[in-house]
Amino acid sequence: MRKRLASMFGAFALAILLADFATAAPTFTGIGDLSGGQPFSRASDISGNGLVVVGYSGATEGTEPFRWTATTGIVTLTGAPQMIGVARGVSADGSIVVGDRSSTASSAGGPYLWTESGGIVPLNTMNGAVVQIGAYAISADGSTVGGKAFEYPSRGSLATGWVPQTPANTPGTTFGLSADGSVAVGTYYRGQGPMPVRWTSTEGFQELGDLPGGRTFGEAYGISADGSVVVGYSEVVEPYGNQAFRWTNESGMLGLESPPSGSVAFSVSADGTLVGGVGYWGKFTEGVLWDEAGHLHSVRELLRSMGAGDAMAGWSLYEVVGISEDLRTITGNGANPLGRAEAWIATTSPADVNGDWVVNVFDINLVVSHWGEVGSAGDANGDGAVNIFDINAISAGWSHAPGSASAAVPEPSTWVLLVAALSGLALWRGWLGIRCGR
């Protein structure tokens, strides 16, 4: 017994030593811009697997759609320049992209769908007539495209072409689709302005409500994978003082925590827990994330508190437009150190094992609950095992936020870490006991 305790103490001491070498940093990367033309890029969406960002960028002949991966960098969508247009949506695996293009001498303009194998497929007809504009969303499985045709909220596929969402008696746009494409969200125009709406084939349009104050006015931009959570904005102070909302069937429309000058939510994670968008503090614009409780966090502060301050030096982060399925990667837009508009991509710290963009006691709890397992849940240091080294990786990567990001969560005082480590050791000991008892 004494020998076992001694060996455990030895492991614990070794882990403490190794903590100094733990690397648990988030990443922040500018996406760059296409060569030639205006030096800017703008992200529209990120694939569910977090590996592909799509958007548009200035190039020699004008604005071209781009597709970005870590290995290829930013490349024009077709590989062939001079397709003037934008990319707005990408499928979960990154292989299918939708957007709009301008007409040229050789091709009609309008919505398109792009695949790695098939290249550009025009989506510009409905019932044989040329559709005006445009494709805004694609379902995670790539089966369904959403947008507007003849100014009406519409959806469709390569097989069906565009189909107006019915009843279609008001102009509007579909901005988001559930993973299987069966639920659409967006806006239609009625009364004082756009109304946030949710649509299914069986129920048709459902107005999502309005936050108190201002006009009855808003838009829905993001939807969870199962279609149960919708995010967007609603006007609360006339004119155009907007507040981000999160809607569920159970709660209805609820306002998310908002800075003094307003906010807009653009994106929600597949599981509905993490929301991304923009917050306005007077003349300052900040990319923000809302946690599951609806609390607001500056992305800049979250990244800085986890140790990515240097990578962001000189950048302004203006908005978050996409979140990967595992919550760990986000994309957005900002201004680079030269003051030019540039898209960016960021990943949370490996020590943030529960993917809420804060490294704190809840990450330790997750490690403890997976103690002794082999696998990725709770593996903060990426060695495939869940043990004391993960507790140390978390303590090394702990969020040290001066602002609101961690205000609700205590700093890792010695007793917190000690209790966590001891409870982990107790579990570990139990696990060893079972193993030795065979």
Residue ranges in contact with Ca ion by CB under 5 A: 210, 214, 235, 352, 354, 356, 358, 363, 379, 381, 383, 385, 390
- Distances in Å between the alpha carbon of 231 and those of 121, 221, 245, 248? 30, 6, 6, 9
Rounded CA-CA distance 185/196 in Å is 8
DSSP state of 385: B
What is the nearest approach in angstroms of Ca ion to the Cβ of residue 238?
8
Which C-beta is closer to Ca ion: that of 64 or that of 379? 379
Which C-beta is closer to Ca ion: that of 301 or that of 352? 352
What is the nearest approach in angstroms of Ca ion to the Cβ of residue 192?
9
* Under 8 Å between Cβ of 271 and 260: no
What is the nearest approach in angstroms of Ca ion to the Cβ of residue 363?
4
* Under 8 Å between Cβ of 244 and 275: yes
Which C-beta is closer to Ca ion: that of 33 or that of 235? 235
What is the nearest approach in angstroms of Ca ion to the Cβ of residue 394?
9
What is the nearest approach in angstroms of Ca ion to the Cβ of residue 121?
40
Count of residues for the chain? Answer: 438
What is the nearest approach in angstroms of Ca ion to the Cβ of residue 217?
6
Rounded CA-CA distance 329/344 in Å is 11
Which C-beta is closer to Ca ion: that of 74 or that of 391? 391
Q: What residues does 316 pair with on adjacent strands?
A: 335
Taking the CA atoms of the chain, what radius of gyration do you get in angstroms?
Answer: 24
What is the nearest approach in angstroms of Ca ion to the Cβ of residue 49?
21
Which C-beta is closer to Ca ion: that of 73 or that of 252? 252
Which C-beta is closer to Ca ion: that of 286 or that of 363? 363
Rounded CA-CA distance 153/178 in Å is 15
For the chain, the first-to-last Cα distance in angstroms comes to 17
* Under 8 Å between Cβ of 134 and 110: yes
Rounded CA-CA distance 49/427 in Å is 33
Rounded CA-CA distance 75/171 in Å is 34
Which C-beta is closer to Ca ion: that of 96 or that of 346? 346
The token pair at 404 is: 């609101």
What is the nearest approach in angstroms of Ca ion to the Cβ of residue 378?
8
* Under 8 Å between Cβ of 63 and 341: no
Which C-beta is closer to Ca ion: that of 42 or that of 370? 370
Provide the 10 A C-beta neighbour count for residue 75: 14
The token pair at 313 is: 């030096």
Which C-beta is closer to Ca ion: that of 136 or that of 233? 233
What is the nearest approach in angstroms of Ca ion to the Cβ of residue 239?
11
- Distances in Å between the alpha carbon of 136 and those of 50, 58, 86, 190, 434? 19, 20, 10, 21, 55
